[in-house]
Amino acid sequence: MMKSVAVIVQNGFAPFEFGLACEAFGLDRSDDGIPNFDFRIVTPLPGVVASNMGFSINVEHDLAFADGADLVVVTPVPRDAWAQIDRRVADVIRRAHERGAWILTVCSGAFVVAASGILDGRRATTHWMYADTMARMYPAIEVDPDVLYVQDGRIITSAGTAAGLDACLHLLRQELGAEMANVIARRMVVPPQRDGGQAQFIDKPLPAVASLSLAPVTDWMVEHLREDLSVDQLAAKAHMSPRTFARRFKADFGATPAAWLARQRLIHAQRLLEKTDLGLDRIAWESGFGSAAVLRQNFARTLGTTPTAYRATFSCLRAEDAASTPELVA
């Protein structure tokens, strides 16, 4: 389990992106049952580090802590530094990758990791405004400009601003489980899950209709996971034609309605495995997979594990409570 986090800042850092890393990994949430991380801010030369907003912070730690951290977060650097990344930072990132640590970038922090060479041959993202530049500078990287974040192995790259928070929650879900990640999201007052494939922005909006928001439809989908939901049925709820609905959904969420629904079913199954002692057949039914076999297939394909192994790792059900866990209402 991830226990230590190092956030690398350099001159010209962006306060918002830096702050979200502190919010995600640095706060004491032990009152909510969330384990604290050994969290430190590091920089190549300790002392005053200037932001890009006219103020500075004093950083006490050098890069040594990052050499043993379970997660290294790389915050953005100014455009004029993209071609001359500090070699000490690049070396720390390479060593972190070699020992199997997590590496997470926010926005143009991806340029720092790209300079280390560990993204060569991998898929990555950055803010859509910088994606073409990154692709030109690093042709060995498959740069995807259309998504919120990308995980390739233990490297997570994310787009600008709030997408970095989505990436942090994505990582926390893998390390702490779905329920604890949702607790953290609730404390932040943000949605607990936006898939990495969701579009960064809508380049060519569809013609205006009475309401372009799909939130009521997606809320209804989550409430009816057990049912066999068709595009025609969902389009009718959105007051759109099936073709328009499918196109709009893909533009907003970066996935087809079926793929998005499968992801929500998996998240619900994760939470049931963590919070209840229900059998796999019942969990499969509650989450809309139909059978334990289909549930196992989805866990193996998406999470690379089994439901039983996931429950053993993330169950938050105390043994003395197990017998009294109420059955979910059918």
Helical (H) or strand (E) element with 56: strand 56-59
Domain spanning 4-188, CATH class: alpha beta
CA distances to 176, 224, 227 from 220, in Å: 27, 6, 11
Q: How far apart, in whole angstroms, are the C-alpha atoms of residue 56 and residue 83?
A: 23
Q: Which option is the CATH number for 204-330: 3.40.50.1220, 3.40.1190.20, 3.40.50.2020, 1.10.10.60?
A: 1.10.10.60
Q: How far apart, in whole angstroms, are the C-alpha atoms of residue 94 and residue 115?
A: 10
Output the tens digit of pLDDT for each of the chain's 330 residues. Answer: 899 999 999 999 999 999 999 999 999 999 999 999 999 999 999 999 999 999 999 999 999 999 999 999 999 999 999 999 999 999 999 999 999 999 999 999 999 999 999 999 999 999 999 999 999 999 999 999 888 899 999 999 999 878 899 999 999 999 999 889 888 988 887 766 666 555 554 343 333 333 457 889 999 999 999 999 999 999 999 999 999 999 999 888 878 999 999 989 998 999 999 999 999 999 999 999 999 999 999 999 888 889 999 899 888 764 434 434 444 433
Tokens 């953005």, located at residue? 76
pLDDT at residue number 205: 38
Tokens 């139909």, located at residue? 290
Q: If you write DSSP's letter for every residue of 78-103 in order, what string do you get?
A: -GGGTTS--HHHHHHHHHHHHTT-EE
pLDDT at residue number 327: 40
pLDDT at residue number 141: 98
**H and E: helices and strands count for the chain:** 14, 10
pLDDT at residue number 196: 57
pLDDT at residue number 125: 96
pLDDT at residue number 304: 84
Question: Using alpha carbons only, what angle is made at residue 106 by residues 105 and 111, rounded to the nearest 5 degrees?
Answer: 65
pLDDT at residue number 89: 98
Q: Could you give the residue range(s) of every CATH 3.40.50.880 domain in the chain? A: 4-188
Q: How far apart, in whole angstroms, are the C-alpha atoms of residue 250 and residue 241?
A: 14
Q: Which of 99, 145, 139, 136 is nearest to 119 (CA)?
A: 139
Instruction: For the beta carbon of residue 154, count every other beta carbon within 10 angstroms.
Output: 15
Contact call for residues 233 and 261 (beta carbons, < 8 A) = no
What is this structure's pTM?
Answer: 0.75
Interior/surface letters 75-103, b for 16+ CB within 10 angstroms, e for the rest = bbbeeebbeebbeebbebbebbbeeebbb
Q: Could you give the residue range(s) of every CATH 1.10.10.60 domain in the chain? A: 204-330
